[in-house]
Amino acid sequence: MQYQHVCLEAISYTLPDEVVTSAELEQQLEPLYQRLRLPEGRLELMTGIRERRFWPRGTLPSEKSIETADKAIRAAGIDRADIGALVHGSVCRDYLEPATASGVHHGLGLSRNCIVYDVSNACLGLLDGIVQVANMIELRQIRAGVVVGTESSRQLVETTIKQLNSDTSLTREQVKLAVASLTIGSGSAAVVLVHEDLSRTGNRIVGGFALAETSGHRLCHSGRDEAVAGGMQPLMQTDSETLMHEGIAAGKRAFSSFLDEVGWSRRDVRKTFCHQVGLAHRKLMLDAFELDPAADYPTVQFLGNTGSVALPITMAIGIENGHLQPRDRVALLGIGSGINVLMLAVDWQTSGATGSDSASQLQAEIDTSLAGCRE
C-alpha cells in the first residue's frame, strides 16, 4: 500500500493515575507462589515490566476515548465538520452493540455525515483503523478522520489472579500460559489523519505492508466473547514463547517487503515505534530486523502491554520527549496475535503534533526505562 496525500496530523494519549507494580501483583498471588515455590521478582524478571496502570472501576472505554480523541482533534486544529470517519479500534469496548464508536462520536459532537464503526484485530486494531481512514482520505471520500481506542486491563488481571490462586491443580508449566495476562496495562490513544490540503505538519504517511500468518491463530486467545462491560470476567491463554518467536519470524519476513513497498532501505529508517510486549521480545525483534535499539523508543517497562494502543501511546510519548526530529523516516512496526503484521512508514516533518498528558509526569519513568533498555 502506498499513499500520496495522507498526513498524520496529531496523536494523543491518556493514562490512568493508578499504578500497579509487578511486585504488588505477586503479593496478591502469594497463595500460588507459596504452593509452587515461585521466587519473588519472577514476573518482572521474565517480562521486564515493572508496572502497569488501571482505570478506576466502572470506567467505560468510550469515556476515555472521548477524552483522548478530543485532545487529538484540538491539537490538529481542524474543524470538526471536516471529520468524515471515526474508527474505534481497541479490543475493549462498551458493549457488544452498538459500536463503541457511536458513543464516542456523540460525545465529540461530530457531524452526522461521518462514517462511524468499530474495528477489532487484537493489538493491531488502531493501526488497521489508520489504514482504513488513510484509504478513505487517499480516495478523497473524506478530508479527515479519527482513529481512537481505550484498553482496560483491570478485569483481565484481577480475574487471572483469582483463577491462579483458586485452581490448586495448576502446575508451573500451566501457569506460564497466564503470564501474558499479568503484563496487560490500560491506556488510551487517538490519531487524527488529514488530507495534505488540511495539514499544517506535513507528516506524511508514505505507505505500508501487511502480512497474515494465521496458522498461529491459536497461540493467544481469550474465552468466548464476554465484551459486555458490566459483567466482563475475561481470561486469556497465551503460549508466550512460541508466539514471540513465531511473531518475530513473521515480522522479519514482512519487514523486507515493507521496505520494498515504501522504497526505503534499512539505513533510511531513522526511528521506530513497536508494539510493546516485553523487553525480551523487543531485543529479539530489533536484532532480527537488524535495527539499532537506539532508534527505538520503549515504554513497556512502566506501561506494560497496552494492547492496540501500545504503539500509538509510545509514539506520542516519544514525540513529546524529542525522539523524533524533522526529516526522520519512521517505521511503525505492529505484530499482533493471529498472527498478523502491519507496518507503516511515516515521513516526519515536525514534532508539534501531540495532544497528551504532561510529559513531565512520566519523564523519570521514561529515563529509567530507556536506561534499562540500553543495558
* pLDDT per residue as tens digits for the range 47-65: 999 999 999 999 999 999 9
Query: In whole angstroms, what is the distance from residue 229 CA to residue 289 CA?
Result: 39
Q: Give the pLDDT confidence score for residue 243 in this predicted structure.
A: 64
Query: In whole angstroms, what is the distance from residue 100 CA to residue 34 CA?
Result: 42
Higher pLDDT, 120 or 338: 120
123 catalytic per annotation: yes
C-alpha cell at 196: 495534505
Residue 138 pLDDT > 50, yes or no? yes
188-202, 205-219, 271-285, 304-318 — which is least confidently predicted?
205-219
Question: Is-contact 183 305, C-beta < 8 A?
Answer: yes
Mean of the per-residue pLDDT values of the chain? 89
Query: In whole angstroms, what is the distance from residue 72 CA to residue 69 CA?
Result: 5
Half-sphere exposure of 192 (CA within 13 A, CB side): 32
Residues of the chain with CATH 3.40.47.10: 18-193, 205-374
> Could you tell me the pLDDT band of residue 70, with boundaries at 50, 70 and 90?
very high
> Could you tell me the pLDDT band of residue 360, with boundaries at 50, 70 and 90?
very low
Q: Give the pLDDT confidence score for residue 220 in this predicted structure.
A: 58
44-53, 135-144, 332-341 — which is least confidently predicted?
332-341
Residue with cell 470538526: 80
Q: Where are the alpha helices (DSSP H) in 201-274?
A: 240-262
Residue 233 pLDDT > 70, yes or no? no
Q: Give the right CATH number for 18-193 from 3.40.605.10, 3.40.30.10, 3.40.50.300, 3.40.47.10.
A: 3.40.47.10
Residue 20 pLDDT > 90, yes or no? yes
DSSP string, 83-109: EEEEEE--S--S-SSS-HHHHHHHHHT
Residue among 18, 30, 97, 290 flagged as catalytic:
97
> Could you tell me the pLDDT band of residue 223, with boundaries at 50, 70 and 90?
low
User: Three-state SS for 29?
Assistant: coil
* Residue 327 Ramachandran class (φ > 0 left, ψ -120 to 50 alpha, else beta): left
Q: Which fold has domain 205-374?
A: Peroxisomal Thiolase; Chain A, domain 1 (3.40.47)
Q: Give the pLDDT confidence score for residue 225 in this predicted structure.
A: 44
> Could you tell me the pLDDT band of residue 338, with boundaries at 50, 70 and 90?
confident
Residue among 92, 123, 220, 373 flagged as catalytic:
123
